Chain A
Amino acid sequence: MTKPFLSVERLTQKFPDGKGGETIVFEDATFGVEKGEFVCILGHSGCGKSTIMNILAGLAEPTSGVVKMDGFEVSGPSLDRGVVFQNYSLLPWLSALSNVTFGVRARHPEWSKAQVAEHSTKYLAMVGLEGDAIHRKPAQLSGGMRQRVSIARAFANHPKLLLLDEPFGALDALTRGTIQDELLKIWGGTQQTVFMITHDIDEAILLADRILLMTNGPRARVAESVEITIPRPRNRTDIVEHPNYYAIRNHLVQFLGRRSKELAGQASGGGPQSPETVRIDLSGDAPDSKPEDNPMLRAAAQ
Chain B
Amino acid sequence: MMVVMGILEKIIHIFIPRSSNNHKAKLLHSSSLLVIASLLVVWQGILTFLPSIGPNILGYAAQISPDEIIRFTNEKRTSAGLSALTLNTTLSSAAYTKGRDMIERDYWAHVAPDGTQPWKFFSDAGYRYRYAGENLARDFTNPTSTVNAWMDSPTHRENILNSKYKEIGIGVIEGDLAGVDTTIVVQFFGTGYSDVVTQPLAVNNIETVEKVESITTIVPSNLSPSSPEPSPSIVPIVVSSSPIPTIKAVFTQPQPTQRVLISPFTTTKSISLGVVGILLAVFLVDSLIVSKRKIARIGGRTFAHMAFLGMILSIVIILKSGQIL
A and B: bona fide binding partners? no
Residues of B in contact with A (beta carbons under 8 Å apart): none
